[in-house]
Chains A and B, each alone.
Chain A
Amino acid sequence: MPSKTLQSNEAAATANGATDAPTLKGSEIFVRSLEEQGVDRVFGHPGGAVIKIYDAMERIQPSFEHVLVRHEQGGTHAAEGYAKATGRVGTVLVTSGPGATNTVTGIADAYMDSVPIVVFTGQVPTHLIGNDSFQETDTTGVTRSITKHNFLVRDVHELAPTIREAYHIARTGRPGPVVVDIPKDVQMNEAPFHYPDEPHLPGYSVPGKAAPKQIDRAAKMIQDAERPLLYVGGGTINADAPEYLTELARKTNIPVTTTLHGLGAFPETDDLSLGWLGMHGFYHANQAVQNADLIMAVGARFDDRVTGKVDAWAPKAKIIHVDIDPSCISKNVYADCAVIGDAQKVLQQLLPKVEPKDTSDWLDQIEGWRDECPPYSYEDPEEDKLVAPQHVIEQLYEKTKGDAVVVSDVGQHQMWTAQHYKFGRTRSHITSGGLGTMGFGMPSAMGAAFGMREGRDLPVVCISGDGGFVMNAQELSVAAAHGLPLKIAVLNNDFLGMVRQWQSLFHDDRFSHTDLKSTNPDFVKLAEAHHCVGLRATSKDQVDEVIEEAWSINDRPVLMEFPVPKKEMVFPMVPSGAASDEMLTRMFDKEEMAAE
């Protein structure tokens, strides 16, 4: 088969001029390739099928740093956090079998959220593949439907070209995870080493600029619209386009609402910002969607958590959809004008074609909705020893003023973070959106903190719940060992809060297996056992004290536990399957709903 093998062999041979390329073992080629690729950090865990690579790292002492994680899932999330915080490709190295399968959740998470990571997995020797050998898993088979692409390297000559291709695929177009499975004999065999300058991927193309005709159409639609709205997703951030998006919004006075992953693409302190939309988005943002006559989606994919009942979503609006992935166009919501291209290039093309607009009537109308159901509202709990979770997040914002990378886990605290923290910087909000992976927060905050060492010096704040935090708490000791100044806030309600909320609203208060009181650890002791500092606030007054103390410690992670009431719910809320304007607001009373 081999046609590809032949081509890459030939390419390698030609490039080498059959002369000065050193002959190296596969394990050495791997290490040297990562160096050539400019990798600065690898999150990994050794094992039998990658022992040759680990040995080569010890001998070569490469230019990149290896971070020994304590669980492969943690390693994959760390690579995601690193990638999202820096815009670079995250790298993971694990062994075969259980090492590979432990990365599956992280890979699926990266696939759903378009995060560029490359996962290298060891594999049993080629002659044992298919024999049910020790620690053998069909890794490419298992990961095929959750990767952008994957490779099984069958010949040491293919190794360097494959690594080159893997990084290219992960980073370009709509980013995503790539798996490279490397059998042990490939790591041991020898070949001339040459790292190709260009990947050889004849079937792979990346959209760049959009068709001028579509740009003209989009510009005309914007010009004709009376109630336009920008709906901005994570693709804008992936394309490094927030600057141009902001310019477009300010030039045309079009209000901006963002998805969960779009947070940070447009400053939430700006008058044109409506905050985020969707299931737990702001009432005025959802009302704006339902009443807009034009919605321009930039790097967003019309997820069901955004649209709710899709047939009733934005009934009055024409849709312009800017996306780099053609398969996203008209997938959930029909696009009247499809603009396929890189968001940054598209916005650069569009900017000179649009004129300033007067949208003041439309903005006034939106202000009316904002007054009807004000965002950021909540009440303090009745119990003395508990604090409102929203208050904690607001105080974290007051402390950082948006100059931080905020990483959340999955659940109620994630929604409160998105609602109450005012994001103003690109790549400042990291969370698991598409897959909703509990246990994502802590390790990806660690990855982001490593990313901050390479040039972008912002504090990293992890906001987690008690349920999700425990799922990957083992990485605390890794963060401690590296002296990362992580600030971790655990909003502890001794419950799986989001599930509890649904049980309360839709299942008659039957709290089936969501009470964690008896199984939760002592979080302060948990932190200390992992060589971190543990702090606890037991009243509203102590929130600021604890935050101040945490910010005074900068040589290791600090975990701050905030006991919060279990009854607190995330509002407003579009119930699953309802239309976006059928929001339950804070005023809503369950008994009233039952009476209806």
Chain B
Amino acid sequence: MSHDEKTLTLQQIRRKRKFGEAILPEEEDETEQEHRHIIAVTLENTIGALNRVTNLFSARGFNLESVAVGETEDPSIARLTLVTVGNDRIVAQITRQLDGLVNTYDITDLTDAEHVERELCLLKVQYTSDTRSEILDIKDIFRGRVVNVTPETMILEVTGPNKKINAFIGMMEAHGIEEVARSGQVAMHRALQYEAPNPLASSDSEVAGDGAPASDE
């Protein structure tokens, strides 16, 4: 997968820095426009590290739409995925500040890069004998699962990108939602996974995907 300067991850920037290449975009391309940004951060799995990261956003008056954090394959390292909406220039500066934190290892703004996004949603919905089969049909369309059932309610589990979860919740609204719990999004760079044994094959990566059905996208 080929990248222009804009979509370099900090890992790649560090690699370039080693070889003495420019580490920042050559053109003034950070705009004043507001966009949704999805940012992946690997950080030391220690007290206060998460707080320092989120602080940088709250100090600038940015709301974090979602924050998802968990251990990686190395228990001393945690991975955080956060979603925010904000001015591109300021988000770019915050990501540079994130890189400067003592506890962080790598920051990747995945927004403009090829990436996979997933979120898990648990939804408790009321049902009657009349609505039961329709609810189960919708659940099937969204490739969900029933994880708990009582005579009046059931809990459904659905996984997918943000839009799919929103659509699923929308479909369930008419049936009387009792509770919704969403995990927040987790995301991963496709290029890091598929970095090119054969550069020509990279154009197929959209189809090859990540093993999830194409309908998820």
With both beta carbons as reference points, the residue of chain B lying nearest to A325 in the complex is identified as B100
Contacts of B76 in A (CB 8 A): 3-4, 7
How many angstroms between the C-alpha atoms of A399 and B52 in the bound complex? 48
Whether the pair A1, B47 counts as a contact (CB closer than 8 A) is: yes
Interface residues of B in 74-102 (CB under 8 A from A): 75-76, 93, 96-97, 99-102
Whether A331 is near chain B, meaning CB under 8 Å from some CB there, is yes
Contacts of B203 in A (CB 8 A): none
Whether the pair A150, B48 counts as a contact (CB closer than 8 A) is: yes
Whether A340 is near chain B, meaning CB under 8 Å from some CB there, is yes
Measured CB to CB, the closest approach of chain B to A70, in angstroms, equals 32
Q: Which of A4, A213, A214 contacts B46 (CB 8 A)?
A: A4
Q: Which of B20, B28, B51, B103 contacts A334 (CB 8 A)?
A: B28
How many angstroms between the C-alpha atoms of A144 and B102 in the bound complex? 12
Whether the pair B45, A1 counts as a contact (CB closer than 8 A) is: yes
Whether the pair A213, B20 counts as a contact (CB closer than 8 A) is: yes
Whether the pair A213, B22 counts as a contact (CB closer than 8 A) is: yes
How many angstroms between the C-alpha atoms of A55 and B56 in the bound complex? 39
Whether the pair A326, B96 counts as a contact (CB closer than 8 A) is: yes
Whether the pair A149, B102 counts as a contact (CB closer than 8 A) is: yes
Measured CB to CB, the closest approach of chain B to A295, in angstroms, equals 16
Whether B44 is near chain A, meaning CB under 8 Å from some CB there, is yes
Measured CB to CB, the closest approach of chain A to B138, in angstroms, equals 41
Whether the pair A144, B24 counts as a contact (CB closer than 8 A) is: no
Measured CB to CB, the closest approach of chain A to B101, in angstroms, equals 7
Whether B21 is near chain A, meaning CB under 8 Å from some CB there, is yes
Contacts of A202 in B (CB 8 A): 44, 105
Contacts of A174 in B (CB 8 A): 100
With both beta carbons as reference points, the residue of chain A lying nearest to B17 in the complex is identified as A211
Interface residues of A in 133-181 (CB under 8 A from B): 140-141, 144-145, 148-150, 152, 154, 169, 174
Q: Which of B24, B48, B96, B97 contacts A152 (CB 8 A)?
A: B48
Contacts of B59 in A (CB 8 A): 145
Whether B30 is near chain A, meaning CB under 8 Å from some CB there, is yes
Range class of the A interface residue count? 20 to 34
Whether the pair A327, B105 counts as a contact (CB closer than 8 A) is: no
How many angstroms between the C-alpha atoms of A169 and B100 in the bound complex? 11
How many angstroms between the C-alpha atoms of A1 and B23 in the bound complex? 34
How many angstroms between the C-alpha atoms of A554 and B102 in the bound complex? 44
Central interface residue in A211, A212, A329, by most chain B CB within 10 Å: A211
B-contact 0/1 string along A188-219, CB 8 Å cutoff: 00000000000001111000000111100000
Whether A388 is near chain B, meaning CB under 8 Å from some CB there, is no
Measured CB to CB, the closest approach of chain B to A158, in angstroms, equals 11
Whether the pair A201, B102 counts as a contact (CB closer than 8 A) is: yes
Whether B43 is near chain A, meaning CB under 8 Å from some CB there, is yes
Whether the pair B55, A327 counts as a contact (CB closer than 8 A) is: no
Whether the pair A326, B100 counts as a contact (CB closer than 8 A) is: yes
Measured CB to CB, the closest approach of chain B to A582, in angstroms, equals 25
Q: Which of A152, A212, A325, A327 contacts B47 (CB 8 A)?
A: A152
Whether the pair B46, A1 counts as a contact (CB closer than 8 A) is: yes
Contacts of A169 in B (CB 8 A): 102
Whether the pair A144, B51 counts as a contact (CB closer than 8 A) is: yes
Whether the pair A144, B22 counts as a contact (CB closer than 8 A) is: no
Known interface pairs A145-B59, A213-B21, A329-B96. Does A203 touch B47 (Cβ–Cβ under 8 Å)?
A: no
Measured CB to CB, the closest approach of chain A to B140, in angstroms, equals 41
How many angstroms between the C-alpha atoms of A212 and B16 in the bound complex? 12
How many angstroms between the C-alpha atoms of A141 and B43 in the bound complex? 19
Contacts of A213 in B (CB 8 A): 20-22
How many angstroms between the C-alpha atoms of A145 and B60 in the bound complex? 12
B-contact 0/1 string along A273-311, CB 8 Å cutoff: 000000000000000000000000000000000000000
Interface residues of B in 90-140 (CB under 8 A from A): 93, 96-97, 99-105
Central interface residue in A149, A150, A202, A203, by most chain B CB within 10 Å: A203
Whether the pair B20, A212 counts as a contact (CB closer than 8 A) is: yes
B-contact 0/1 string along A1-20, CB 8 Å cutoff: 10110010000000000000
Contacts of B30 in A (CB 8 A): 330
Measured CB to CB, the closest approach of chain B to A176, in angstroms, equals 10
25 contacts between A and B (CB under 8 A): A1-B45, A1-B47, A3-B45, A4-B76, A140-B48, A141-B51, A144-B55, A145-B55, A145-B59, A149-B103, A152-B47, A152-B48, A201-B102, A202-B105, A203-B43, A203-B101, A203-B103, A211-B17, A213-B20, A213-B22, A327-B100, A330-B28, A331-B93, A338-B22, A338-B24
Query: What 10 A-B pairs have minimum CB-CB distances, sorted nearest first?
Result: A3-B76, A327-B96, A211-B20, A327-B97, A149-B102, A212-B20, A204-B102, A338-B24, A203-B105, A334-B28
